[in-house]
Amino acid sequence: MDTQQVVISGGGPAGLWLAAELRLNGITVTVIEERTEVDQRSKALTVHPRGV
Ligand SMILES: Cc1cc2nc3c(=O)[nH]c(=O)nc-3n(C[C@H](O)[C@H](O)[C@H](O)COP(=O)(O)OP(=O)(O)OC[C@H]3O[C@@H](n4cnc5c(N)ncnc54)[C@H](O)[C@@H]3O)c2cc1C
């Protein structure tokens, strides 16, 4: 059994990015997403530069 296991709440960009980074480092990840269907509205019409 793995000693390092992470549960991530939310399968948005932040949650999925974190999950990918953790998996690349051999950590077992479970992502829990409350939505049951794909949101058809676009939330990424353009790429914004960092504000800071
Ligand atoms: C209309 C709109 C247009 C946008 N356009 C752009 C754009 O053009 N360019 C740009 O760079 N950004 C844009 N954004 C912003 C961009 O979508 C967000 O910055 C980005 O989605 C944030 O990612 P996140 O992972 O932090 O949160 P989210 O994308 O909100 O993901 C969070 C996830 O967690 C899930 N969740 C929440 N609570 C729970 C819970 N208790 N249990 C399980 N799951 C849960 C939600 O269902 C969701 O899927 C836009 C946003 C909106 C609303």
Do 6 and 32 form a contact (C-beta atoms < 8 A)?
no
Q: What is the rounded distance in angstroms from the CA atom of residue 3 to the CA atom of residue 5?
A: 6
pLDDT reported for residue 6: 97
Confidence class of residue 39 from pLDDT cuts 50, 70 and 90?
confident
52 falls in which pLDDT band (50, 70, 90)? Answer: confident
Minimum CA distance residue for ligand 1 atom 7: 44
For the stretch 1-31, pLDDT in tens is 557 899 999 999 999 999 999 999 999 999 9
- 32, 9 Cβ separation under 8 angstroms: yes
Query: How many angstroms is it from 7 CA to the middle of ligand 1?
Result: 18
The domain locations on the chain are 1-37
Does ligand 1 have an atom closer than 6 angstroms to the CB of 50? Answer: no
Amino acid at 38: V
pLDDT at 2: 53
User: Would you say the CB of residue 32 lies under 6 angstroms from ligand 1?
Assistant: yes
Q: What is the value of pTM for the model shown?
A: 0.86
Q: What is the largest CA-CA distance in the chain?
A: 42
